[in-house]
Chains A and B, each alone.
Chain A
Amino acid sequence: MLDFKDVVFQFPVEEKPIIDHLSFHVDRGEFISIIGASGCGKSTIFRLINRLLVPEKGEILVAGRRVAGKPAADSGKEKSPEKPRDKTRGNIPVCGYMPQQDLLFPWRTVEENICLPMELQGGISREEQHRRAQKALKDVGLAGKGDKRPSELSGGMRQRAAFARTLLTGAELLLLDEPFSALDYLTRIEMREWLLEQWERERKTVLFITHDVEEAIFLSGRVLVAERSPITSLTSVEIPLGVPRSIEDLKKPEIQDMKEQLIGKLRNTEIDLPLKAGV
């Protein structure tokens, strides 16, 4: 579903790349969390996938479509990366992106907000948009809230609406960038269970960034750990839990051990970012 091949990326103002010859692979239908110390470049990975940033070297493939990079020299004629709007694929974006803040537009109702990706894609009738929006609202537990303004919803509800909007992009790959970090603790716990239910129903491929180890273990089938910065590789850790799972599962001794281990890995992270003058 997602392939990074030797990707190098460097911010123009930095002296060293933040992502250095990174390769990894994600299968269709996986729920994967990426954990790492803040500032290590987790979000940069997302911004490369959704084309907000362009890698210097290497190739990124989503479902076989090249989103960035040139093909290897031996693969024939050169093709430039496909445009975000690819007419041949019904304008469906390569991935659905859910940022940390819900970013619902205050001038639109909840339903109008979640219809936005369909409006942008075009070619979907109003009735069809309304039908899909109503279904999505019901699925995420916001039935009957479509006519409300985002400001009338609680933080948790707004994130649910933002998730519905992400689903309605129609993309198979969902990038969730710390979507619950701005919520209070109890809501966060509740949203984790909710997200897992959503994933079990939709079975989309999910890439989930978090710095919360417990959250990563609870949600994912596999955790990718960014152990050092610049990111040269991601250490893959399988989570030995099936679905459905519950909060209770986190209390199992082997899971507790795993949590300790992961935290240990993160604590050893050498932040080798080029520090500015004065150090």
Chain B
Amino acid sequence: MSSGNTNRANLPAAMLVFALLMFWQIAAMGMNAAYIMPSPAQVVQRLWDLRGPIFTAHLPATMSVVVIGLMISIVLGMALAILMDASPIAEKALYPVVIASQTIPTTALAPLFVLWFGYTIWSKVLVTVLMTFFPVTITVFDGFRSVRTEMKDLMFCMGADTRQMFFKLKLPAVLPCFFSALKMAVPLSVIGAAIGEWLGAQSGLGYFSRRMMTQLDGAGVFAPILLLSIAAMLLVAVVSAIEKRVITWRNE
């Protein structure tokens, strides 16, 4: 029943998307220049034509960058958040640096990473990590900070030690924030991977899209982008599904 309601609630958005696609299709057909402005139908068609290399070589390459990058970001981000929460000195030292790191134009640095790591997966992973560790660190850290003082006091009165305070109060309290962070990080990781691949790679959807550009294949440029978007949406859906199973309590 609730899914029926959601479907109905999403109906206007679905109609808008459909209308925009129709407009695009008609405009593209009117222009009749598929090498710069392919129609949606042509993009889907091209994706189908190229399914062999895209699904066997390029999608797995990009997904491994996304998954490895996300893993590192989660571990690094959680570690930084826990460290800043545990030690005021670490907070004073790290927090401003973490914030400042966001002003670095990661995209502009990417060529440097290619210089360092060559065309290996690690140059792409580094771009992904730089783009995603920030939301994880900051959101989780803010989550730690918003754990209610009264609850900490109560735990103290019941005789909780530091370890119990962390595992029985802070960690569960921060879980909703952790999932919000993850939902922010997933699309960013896909963007990071694609940017990394544009700049220097031998496989991957970003690399593939760029190669199609040099061949003036408009539909070929769009096809991997379409797949990237679908991949990001599916990943967010997977995270949301896990969140629903894990966070069974209503947020108060």
Chain A interface residues (CB < 8 Å from chain B): 50-52, 84-85, 91-93, 95-97, 99, 101, 103, 105-108, 116-117, 119-121, 149, 151, 169
Contacts and interface: CB of A to CB of B under 8 A. Distances in A.
Q: Sorted from nearest, which 9 A-B pairs have the closest CB atoms?
A: A106-B249, A97-B157, A107-B172, A93-B159, A50-B157, A85-B159, A117-B158, A84-B159, A107-B249
Contact of A120 (B150, B158, B248): B158
B44 interface: no
A120 B157 contact: no
Nearest to B161: A85
A121 B151 contact: no
Contacts of A107: 172-173, 175, 247-249
Given A106-B250, A107-B249, A121 B154 contact: no
Contact of A121 (B159, B168, B249, B251): B159
Interface in B210-252: 247-252
Nearest to A100: B150
A84 B251 CA distance: 31
B153 interface: yes
B157 A93 contact: yes
Given A106-B252, A107-B249, A151-B252, A116 B172 contact: no
Nearest to A98: B154
A119 B157 CA distance: 14
A49 to B, nearest CB: 9
B146 interface: no
Nearest to B151: A103
B168 A120 contact: yes
Given A93-B159, A149-B249, A120 B164 contact: yes
Q: Which of B158, B247, B250 has the most chain A CB atoms inside 10 A of its CB?
A: B158
23 contacts: A50-B157, A52-B157, A85-B159, A92-B159, A93-B158, A93-B159, A97-B158, A99-B153, A99-B154, A103-B148, A105-B173, A106-B249, A106-B250, A106-B251, A107-B173, A107-B175, A107-B247, A108-B172, A117-B158, A119-B168, A120-B159, A121-B159, A151-B249
A24 B160 CA distance: 29
Given A85-B161, A91-B159, A120-B164, 5 more contacts: A52-B156, A103-B154, A105-B169, A105-B173, A107-B172
Contact of A95 (B150, B157, B249): B157
A119 B172 CA distance: 16
A84 B156 contact: yes
Contacts of A99: 150, 153-154
Contacts of B161: 85
A169 B151 CA distance: 16
Interface string B145-181: 0001011011111111100100011001101000000
A212 to B, nearest CB: 21
B164 to A, nearest CB: 6
Contacts of A151: 249-250, 252
Contacts of B153: 52, 99
A31 B9 CA distance: 56
A227 to B, nearest CB: 28
A120 B155 CA distance: 9
Contacts of A85: 159, 161
A164 to B, nearest CB: 13
A105 B175 CA distance: 13
A151 B159 CA distance: 25
A149 B161 CA distance: 25
Contact of B150 (A92, A101, A106, A119): A101
A96 B157 CA distance: 7
